[in-house]
Chain A
Amino acid sequence: MAATAAVTAGSRRRRNRAPAVGAGNDDAEEHHHNPFLETASSAPSRVQFRNVASRARWVEEAGATEVVESKGKLWLTTGVTRGGKLCYNIEEIGFLVERSALILLNDKDQTIGIENIYEKIAGGKYGCSWDTFQAYKHLKSLGYIVGRYGVPWTLKNSGTSDTNQSFNKVDGTCSDITKSLKEMHIDRLTPSFEVYLPNSMFKKSSPGAPNFLLCLLRNKPFSRVELEMLENNFGGIPLKYCHVDNNGRVSFLCFDEVALPSLP
């Protein structure tokens, strides 16, 4: 009857639909916002804006911020604690400011604008490049918990940690955050981030082992030998790789060793 006809028509339409191109890709069917429509004034924003913003002060020597006033819940999974103070690194600042969740201040309590923050990231002096920032944002927006590799989530007192000797004891500021990534060579393949799956019970005091480490892919693909060496260094924790193209599009890859079974 009519009901069945509608259902069959639906099925026919479904079959005639082109198969999902690039199935499994997160940007398979690109959604192009139509700028020729009268009603559309600007591209729809996919960023959720916060009503309440935290405030933080930029500390140049540390290349990071000290949070002055914390609002909302993002801080539970963002930033590190140093001597009781919450510190954000440059990619965290960028992410939070873009979402109006943070107001960044200079030492004169004037607001530092987003363009200034973008400059700092692009300059690459604070341990995070523009590409790395894209990767960070992509995962953070999806709810993943992302921290810089090798940077502890908390350091209770101002004693030196063994991961680095440059911890600033003077006023307990978080200068170890930036130094860590500076020591990494651009071309040597090392993880940039440790990533945890979205978890409402995440505790910085006991984060547990990350679900995977993320390596940003550099200029050219690495060799099999380099890959094996890298995997040997982090035996146990899965590695994922992130490629950022010139358009700022982010792809995540796995390079897994396999053993094709011998078939009967």
Chain B
Amino acid sequence: MMDLPGPRWKKGKDAKDFAAVAAAKPMSRIVAKLQASLKDSEAMAILSGDGGDAILAIGRKQAKLLNRAAFGRHIENAGEEERQWFQLRPEEVFFLCHALKCISVQSENKKQMDEAQLWDLFTSTSEPFPEMYKAYQHLRLKNWVVKSGLQYGADFVAYRHHPALVHSEFAVIIVPEGKEFGSRCGRLQVWSDLLCALRASGSVAKTLLVLTISTKGCDLASSDCLGQLIVHERAITRWIPQQCREQHDKPQREEANGDVQIQKPCSEDASKEEREETREGVAFSYWGVILSFTILSSLLVYKLKF
């Protein structure tokens, strides 16, 4: 098993990172509070016309919880003070409805939608919905925050807590496996696709996480299939031979024993980026000092002479 990279916490105005804030307010607790609150108020989401997203109107206290749990996108509305509007994507709607059972959903013409109808709607609007939702649910149930990954060339990005507190660690690509998924299994079937995804994720300092969704046979037409889908996690990382070699230039005394394996994990994208910047930065300011010292001393000599 691979050692996962650690989280990169963002920093607040006091220059302290948000790790403590996240530790004090674990995501599981926020989600539990949100779930209770939405249930109590019988929150109802309304599907938007094109059948994909939904909008949800909730009170201020609930809005605070929804924001903290990082669901949906707030819709700015100058008119309303007490009610806050949010737009939810299909995976979020289904998660709140099916997994957390804390909202009900109405179609745009006021028809109450049950889970089966919602599943039908979402799968007909977007063929990959079964595997996308399974992956979304898998990560959310582990209390990772899951957001769209389109800006990063992936399906999702996964955060260890709220995106305002921490950088996302993973760019997630979902690959289904099995004849039930038809041609969708063809993802990442050529090396160029995989290398492109790897490069895209690497350029934004994220580890590429491939979630393979397999099944022993189930009917994707029903949400019952969710119990039959299995999620396999793999990280695809680039290995830099130059970097590893630098760490092991000295002769290995342990090698003489013959049976000890020395495999230090080579630090990946993010930390290498940081290290490179620091190295360059230090060198630059060093030369800056040398240069200005030279200028100053020459000026001094000039002044003294005349």
Contact = CB atoms under 8 A, between A and B. Distances in A.
Interface residues of B, number: 76
A138 B244 CA distance: 14
Given A24-B273, A221-B189, A264 B288 contact: no
Contacts of A262: 142-143
Interface string A247-262: 0000111111111111
Interface stretch (B93-101, B107-115, B246-254): B246-254
Contacts of A238: 263
For chain A, the bracket of interface size reads: 35 or more
A108 interface: no
Interface stretch (A55-63, A171-179, A182-190, A209-217): A209-217
Among A21, A24, A198, the most chain B Cβ lie within 10 Å of the Cβ of A24
Contacts of B289: 3, 6-7
A263 B191 contact: no
Among A2, A9, A25, A260, the most chain B Cβ lie within 10 Å of the Cβ of A260
B205 interface: yes
Contacts of B232: 224, 257
Interface string A19-34: 1111111100000000
Given A5-B292, A253-B198, A264 B255 contact: no
B156 to A, nearest CB: 12
A263 B270 contact: no
Given A211-B262, A258-B1, A263-B27, A10 B269 contact: no
Contacts of A49: none
A254 B189 contact: no
Interface string B154-167: 00001011000000
B224 interface: no
Contacts of A13: 284
Interface in B222-276: 232-242, 244-245, 248-249, 251-253, 255-263, 268-270, 272-273, 276
A14 B277 contact: yes
Given A198-B245, A254-B238, 20 more contacts: A2-B292, A6-B291, A7-B285, A7-B292, A14-B281, A23-B270, A26-B241, A208-B257, A223-B177, A224-B177, A251-B238, A253-B198, A253-B236, A254-B239, A255-B234, A259-B233, A260-B158, A260-B170, A261-B4, A264-B23
